[in-house]
Amino acid sequence: MKFAVIVFPGSNCDVDMFHAIKDVLGEEVEYVWHNATNLDEYDGILLPGGFSYGDYLRTGALARFSNVMDEVVKAAEAGKPVLGVCNGFQILLEAGLLPGAMRRNEKLKFMCRLVELRVENNKSMFTSEYEAGEVITVPIAHGEGNYYCDEETLARLRVNNQIAFTYHGLNPNGSIADIAGITNERGNVLGMMPHPERAVEDLLGSADGIKLFQSIVKNWRLAHVVTS
């Protein structure tokens, strides 16, 4: 499986994502600059964390208009797995690939720490290697991770089983319904604030994030075998 790590001006987690895919997962991966106009050769698209375009206006607002985002939308519409982490999640929200919006953390402070997540949906292409209800440890590093949506959208997320992860125990940012990560209705786009790519080796304090990437590869291969 071949992944693209999209690099925006201000991305700072692209190397972590690249390492997780190449060195830990053992899959093919390339950096792709924000002005790229074709992603057809890639099987999975990864939008890393950071401060794209300096977070001017609001997080993800400028990155959403990068040339590559038209291609990210096309990849999502084609059913390819698209993962946005932290700033990547914010960009997916701005691009309309996921519902809702992101606000500043409830206590108005940047937070960087390990948190516990509960796996709410283990039936998606991103979570199938986890057990339902499994509690995992993954780091966060954000100042605007307070996910918000209206009650109608929240009800729809619940009915469609789109809530992939919630914060377990302590909600660090005030996110509605303790939401830490959501998918689109089709289930091939995932946005999450915690950083699974920084939790792929015990040396980093947790290896719980690697199952997310293993899930992507396993489900892509199953689909590839079925359709080939």
* Active site amino acids: 86, 195, 197
Dig out the tokens for 200 from the structure: 């792929």
Amino acid at 66: S
For tokens 């692209």, what's the residue? 14
Contact criterion met (CB below 8 Å) for 85 and 165: no
Cβ within 8 Å of residue 12, ≥6 positions away:
48, 49, 50, 51
Contact criterion met (CB below 8 Å) for 200 and 210: yes
Tell me the CA distances in angstroms from 160 to 83, 174, 198, 202, 216, one per residue in order.
Answer: 19, 23, 29, 34, 20
CA–CA separation, 130 and 121 (whole Å): 9
Dig out the tokens for 27 from the structure: 């899959």
